[in-house]
Amino acid sequence: MMATRVNNQKVARKRKQSGKLLPYRVFISHSSLDKWIAGQMAEKVAEAGADYWLDVRDLPGGGDIRQEITQGVHECQEVIILFSPNSINSHWVSFEIGAASAKRKYLTPILNNVDYNSIPLIQGIKAIDLNDFGQYLTELRKRIKKRGQRQK
């Protein structure tokens, strides 16, 4: 598993050096108790034309969690955070928000059964209700298209 990850990183570096446009990637932050919802969100992100980073797929067993998350955020163009009653006090979700902020990533909070005003970390950032996830996907498609046009 570790050799595969190292090889994947080498391939990614080669693609960057060759000048080919890397896929637009979205980091999906969530509580492990919400992994089914996060998986559904990941499928929709992929259908919209972006790759994604999701812990169940991209975090290897035995890996350094902090390092893997930091690297995952670094490799993504943006981050979505699924806020739910399960994630609102999650240490890892807070860490992922910090990593995204440090890297100045585009950040979209997705709210699932929580009140925007109850989350001090995201005050001043436009949030989208999970029931309106289609709105996020429409905006994501526009950002992917805009990025593609800039790279031509």
Q: What is the pLDDT of residues 65-123, one digit of tens each?
A: 999 999 999 999 999 999 999 999 999 999 999 999 999 999 999 999 999 999 988 99
Instruction: Name which of 79, 87, 110 is nearest 34 in CA terms.
Output: 87
Q: DSSP secondary structure string, 57-74?
A: HHS-TTS-HHHHHHHHHH
Query: Domains (ranges, CATH) in the chain?
Result: 23-151 (3.40.50.10140)
Question: Do residues 79 and 73 make contact, with C-beta atoms less than 8 angstroms apart?
Answer: yes
What value does the CA radius of gyration of the chain take, rounded to a whole number of Å? 15
Tell me the whole-structure pTM to 2 decimals.
0.83
Q: DSSP secondary structure string, 30-49?
A: --GGGHHHHHHHHHHHHHTT
What is the C-alpha separation between 31 and 37, in angstroms, rounded? 10
